[in-house]
A and B are shown apart, each in its own frame.
Chain A
């Protein structure tokens, strides 16, 4: 599961907090919270949505944020948090102060005081009204007024009466109306204010209709007048109306109205107490939100300005980490950030120089390594293709290197491997190798050369030439010993053969010369003196023995000469079956010799037929000799061909060949026969090798089996 960065959840947390505050402060339906409350709600909801959108965008972003953005976000959050704490504290303190202030403003004592003041003012008005009503009651049945209303009094008398009443009661104005609302008389204090009379209003008519004294207040030009209406009751009904005015004292009225205004204002404030508190809270909240928003914007600008160099630095570091060293950041300011930028640029420059130097060194090293590898490859190829065995031993006597040739020559066992101690692994038939190394190790000379024989596991003996050299540590840094092993068995044998051939040639030359006169003399003695001797049998035996031995010596000398001067084979194309046919014709007198000629075999081979015939005759002679006179033992000759070779096989059921004799069978002058020269098989193998083929003993007994293998085609055809 992908790990979510806690920083990315902060906007969502802030949105949750803001939504919680919004829910808590949501205006209720019945409270007249005002427009500002809804503005605040909309403001907070908008902020919450912005934060949620920003938080979701942060969560969905999979890539790494831009360098410096986290630091910027932290700074903005820290600044807003630093501002939020005192703002909230101030708001809470202010709310408490407002609540306390309201408690003081709307104190019970103030309430009572205002009630009493209003009661006083109301009491004044009531007293005025009561007085007016009481006084008016005295004139409801006034005879003079009734007479005036009924038209039984003249105008002057009426006015005198009204004037008297006005003076007695202290009224400002007195008017008399008949039942038809016609003015009968009117007197007033001071000069006349208007020529036309004021018509009766609803209150006056109500007074007449109900027959009751009624008072009301009227305002005229900033002054207030208490107006009283008294119906004049005749014998049976109301027949007129007396209207009086009493001007209220200006000072008292002003004070009373001031008290009323204050009371009204106070009550209005009291009614709006909750709204005032809510309004104050929302104003403070609005101010807080605006301040937070502005502070956030300012913090964002400030943080952006502050973190821009840090972001550039982080971005540059990331590029350096990714390998781009061509990074230069602006050194705009002269403060610590500018110093940091300069240091970074210097570091990047030095890093680039160092990297370039390292790359150059790496290139040199790579080139040297390539050369070294090339040399090593050449050396390894050389060693692998070298027919000479090479063993490299370090100063501690441990094998460091040995090529395939030495393994092939010496048939090295598996423990011969690099890092093996050469003295410990040189045991058995390889002890001479260890001795050679030990001698090289302890001698003073740098070089050592020895020849010795190494017996191979299959019984063969190798004659090797070992040469050793001490390698000094100067120059290559490696000190040790180099052993070079050469198989010189063939070379030694060739030298030995050459020496023998020379011996044979000289011996034949020296022996052959007297043999012919000896033989001729013996034959002459036999022809001339046989009749003269007494015992012819003894004479015949002796002369015959001389002649036979001389012949034997001549054959021996001939073989020696043949071995010494083996002629080059005269290659021609010969059918395989022809050679078998020759053998059949030669040995058909022997019943135990069977030559298997496969008529369908039309294969030919390229060889010297005389030499190959000599080889086959030699093999057949040996087989016949091995079977003795026992006719039950058979000799078989047959041929086989493959795609590349032709094989002649000679098998016999004789006594077989001893194991020791088998190892030396093809060596010259080794024979198991009493009168054998020991050269037949040696010559036969040499003929086979001269043809590029082999002559091998397949099995020593049951049956004794020889196989002559020749290639079907030779590279050089030499016609006679």
Chain B
């Protein structure tokens, strides 16, 4: 049995939750100016998007209780000689090469049917909130500790949900 939540959407992106039999999935898409990414990617600049997914239980008068924190990084490394882009998903380790920049941008700017967490972690009649923030890193992600101190968020989405 699968149930889909209403689509959350604003000017930065859209988010939708789908409950599978045992897993909760989400579909998120970031509204990003294609020129911003395409110009850089056509010039050979490697681009990565870092998706930070946080699921928490909503509590009144207190901070929300964290349930899950997931980070997904998607890379698009251009090959100027062959005019192709090598796409890599850090969560699955799968990479593929595409020859259309639109495919690369689509890969970077969305998560489709992404498994978030096991439904057994969720309790019925409880209100939960999923928050997703996306950072765009040109020239790849700097792994130094200080690089994470300050970075602007390209998009952020959140949606409340509960078990059906």
* Chain A interface residues toward B at CB < 8 A: 32, 34-35, 38, 118, 121-122, 125, 202, 216-217, 256-257, 260, 263-264, 267-268, 270-271
Count B-side interface residues using an 8 Å CB cutoff. Answer: 18
A-B contact pairs, 9 of them (CB 8 A): A34-B150, A121-B80, A121-B81, A216-B82, A263-B43, A264-B43, A267-B45, A268-B138, A271-B45
Task: Say yes or no: is B163 at the interface (Cβ < 8 Å to chain A).
Answer: no
**Known contacts A263-B44, A271-B40, A271-B45; A35/B80 CB under 8 A:** no
Listed from nearest, the 9 A-B pairs whose CB atoms lie closest are A267-B43, A264-B44, A35-B150, A260-B80, A125-B81, A217-B82, A260-B81, A268-B45, A121-B81
A125 to B146, CA, bound (A): 40
Task: Say yes or no: is B1 at the interface (Cβ < 8 Å to chain A).
Answer: no
Q: Is the CB of A257 within 8 A of B150?
A: no
Q: Is the CB of A38 within 8 A of B150?
A: yes
In terms of DSSP, what is the predominant structure of the interface of chain A? helix
| Residue from the list A34, A38, A118, A271 in contact with B80, Cβ < 8 A | A118
Task: Say yes or no: is B83 at the interface (Cβ < 8 Å to chain A).
Answer: yes
Having A268-B44, A268-B45, one finds 9 other A-B pairs with CB under 8 Å, namely: A121-B81, A122-B80, A122-B83, A125-B82, A217-B82, A263-B43, A267-B45, A268-B138, A271-B43
> Which residues on the B side are within 8 Å of A260 (C-beta)?
44, 79-81
A589 to B83, CA, bound (A): 178
Task: Say yes or no: is B149 at the interface (Cβ < 8 Å to chain A).
Answer: yes
> Which residues on the B side are within 8 Å of A202 (C-beta)?
96
> Which residues on the A side are within 8 Å of B45 (C-beta)?
264, 267-268, 271
Q: Mark B123-153, 1 if CB is under 8 A from A, else 0.
A: 0000000000000001100000010011010
| Residue from the list B82, B138, B149 in contact with A35, Cβ < 8 A | B149
User: Nearest Cβ in chain A — how far from B49, in angstroms?
Assistant: 15
**Known contacts A264-B44, A271-B45, A271-B138; A257/B146 CB under 8 A:** no
Q: Mark B39-54, 1 if CB is under 8 A from A, else 0.
A: 0100111000000000
Q: Which residue of A lies closest to B39 (CB)?
A: A271
A706 to B80, CA, bound (A): 156
**Known contacts A118-B80, A202-B96; A268/B150 CB under 8 A:** no
A35 to B145, CA, bound (A): 13
> Which residues on the B side are within 8 Å of A34 (C-beta)?
150
| Residue from the list A35, A257, A267, A271 in contact with B81, Cβ < 8 A | A257
> Which residues on the A side are within 8 Å of B80 (C-beta)?
118, 121-122, 260, 263-264
Q: Is the CB of A267 within 8 A of B146?
A: no
> Which residues on the B side are within 8 Å of A264 (C-beta)?
43-45, 78, 80
A217 to B44, CA, bound (A): 17
User: Nearest Cβ in chain A — how far from B137, in angstroms?
Assistant: 10
> Which residues on the A side are within 8 Å of B82 (C-beta)?
125, 216-217
> Which residues on the B side are within 8 Å of A257 (C-beta)?
81
Q: Is the CB of A122 within 8 A of B81?
A: yes
A216 to B43, CA, bound (A): 21
> Which residues on the B side are within 8 Å of A270 (C-beta)?
43
> Which residues on the A side are within 8 Å of B139 (C-beta)?
268
> Which residues on the A side are within 8 Å of B97 (C-beta)?
216
Q: Which residue of A lies closest to B152 (CB)?
A: A32
User: Nearest Cβ in chain A — how far from B144, in angstroms?
Assistant: 11
A71 to B36, CA, bound (A): 57
Interface set, chain B 88-140, CB cutoff 8 A to A = 96-97, 138-139
User: Nearest Cβ in chain A — how far from B66, in angstroms?
Assistant: 27
A337 to B88, CA, bound (A): 75
Q: Mark B72-85, 1 if CB is under 8 A from A, else 0.
A: 00000011111100
> Which residues on the A side are within 8 Å of B40 (C-beta)?
271
User: Nearest Cβ in chain B — how far from A330, in angstroms?
Assistant: 50
A597 to B138, CA, bound (A): 146
A401 to B6, CA, bound (A): 123
User: Nearest Cβ in chain A — how far from B78, in angstroms?
Assistant: 8
Q: Is the CB of B44 within 8 A of A35?
A: no
A263 to B43, CA, bound (A): 8
A125 to B45, CA, bound (A): 20
User: Nearest Cβ in chain B — how far from A474, in angstroms?
Assistant: 105
User: Nearest Cβ in chain B — how far from A278, in angstroms?
Assistant: 14
Q: Is the CB of B81 within 8 A of A256?
A: yes
A202 to B95, CA, bound (A): 12
A260 to B44, CA, bound (A): 8
Q: Which residue of B lies closest to A270 (CB)?
A: B43
Q: Which residue of B lies closest to A35 (CB)?
A: B150
> Which residues on the B side are within 8 Å of A122 (C-beta)?
80-81, 83
Q: Which of B43, B81, B96 has the most CB of A within 10 A?
A: B81
Q: Which residue of B lies closest to A275 (CB)?
A: B138
A633 to B159, CA, bound (A): 146
> Which residues on the A side are within 8 Å of B79 (C-beta)?
217, 260
A362 to B71, CA, bound (A): 95
A35 to B138, CA, bound (A): 16
Q: Is the CB of A267 within 8 A of B44?
A: yes
> Which residues on the B side are within 8 Å of A271 (C-beta)?
40, 43, 45, 138
